[in-house]
A = this chain, B = another copy of it.
Amino acid sequence: MASMTTAAGRSLSHGRIDKRQAILAAAFTVFARRGYEQAGVQEVAEEAGVAKPTVYNHMSDKETLFRETLIETAESVAAENLAIIDRLRQPVEDLPAVLEDVAYRLLRTCCGERSRALRWLTYAQVARFPDLIEAVQSRTTSRIRDAFADRIAWLTMSGQLRPCDPTLAAEQLLALITGPLEGRGRLGTRKVTTAELRTVSDAAVVTFLRAYEADRA
């Protein structure tokens, strides 16, 4: 009877520190470093400070380990992004400034180690685990898009944005934020300067507002 876990992730069997979390964290580190196939279960165990059979005590397979790791990371990344968008819940007086701030933070997160590695690992295993794309995106991109759409809907109702399809507007704003850097290979391996992030996110907001700002009458 391997460790069943509560919603909080704490082990039920005895009060021991849950090694499950350590294993998942280590697994993500190693998978991100080497990729799925190149990563060895042995290496994950070492990174977690644990013996190999212990890993198999918690996860039946390398595949299971991979899936749980990606899901876990997806939830974490999503939470980070949703927190940023929540900035738009408080009433906004200076819309461009607030949007630029949100856009900048989102872009910074999307360029971060975790987000990049998550995207890579997910797409890398399309051939082997096609369902993972759906599993990860429904937890990240879709939720972020919907949260943004909610904020845009409110902004529209308060007259700060022109009437539009909020979901489409959210998709386009997100595309404007993350697209340019992707095209420059900067969501790839190269370093990104803070200035470049600001330039791109500001430009995204400017273009978005030109297209979606309510006519000033």
Contact = CB atoms under 8 A, between A and B. Distances in A.
Interface residues of A, number: 44
Interface in A152-192: 168, 171-172, 174-176, 178-180, 182-185, 188-189
Contact of A38 (B127, B189, B203): B127
A175 B171 CA distance: 10
Given A120-B123, A120-B126, A126-B188, A178 B180 contact: no
Nearest to A188: B133
A111 to B, nearest CB: 14
A216 interface: no
A109 interface: no
A89 interface: no
Contacts of A210: 210-212
B189 A179 contact: no
Contacts of A175: 175-176, 178-180, 182-183
4 nearest A-B residue pairs (beta carbon):
A175-B179, A124-B124, A210-B211, A37-B37
Interface of A: 32-35, 37-38, 119-120, 123-128, 130, 133-134, 137, 141-142, 145, 168, 171-172, 174-176, 178-180, 182-185, 188-189, 203-204, 206-208, 210-212
30 contacts: A34-B127, A35-B124, A35-B127, A37-B37, A119-B123, A120-B123, A120-B124, A120-B126, A120-B127, A124-B124, A124-B125, A124-B126, A130-B189, A133-B188, A133-B189, A134-B185, A134-B189, A137-B183, A137-B188, A141-B183, A141-B185, A142-B185, A145-B183, A168-B180, A171-B183, A172-B204, A175-B176, A175-B178, A175-B180, A208-B211
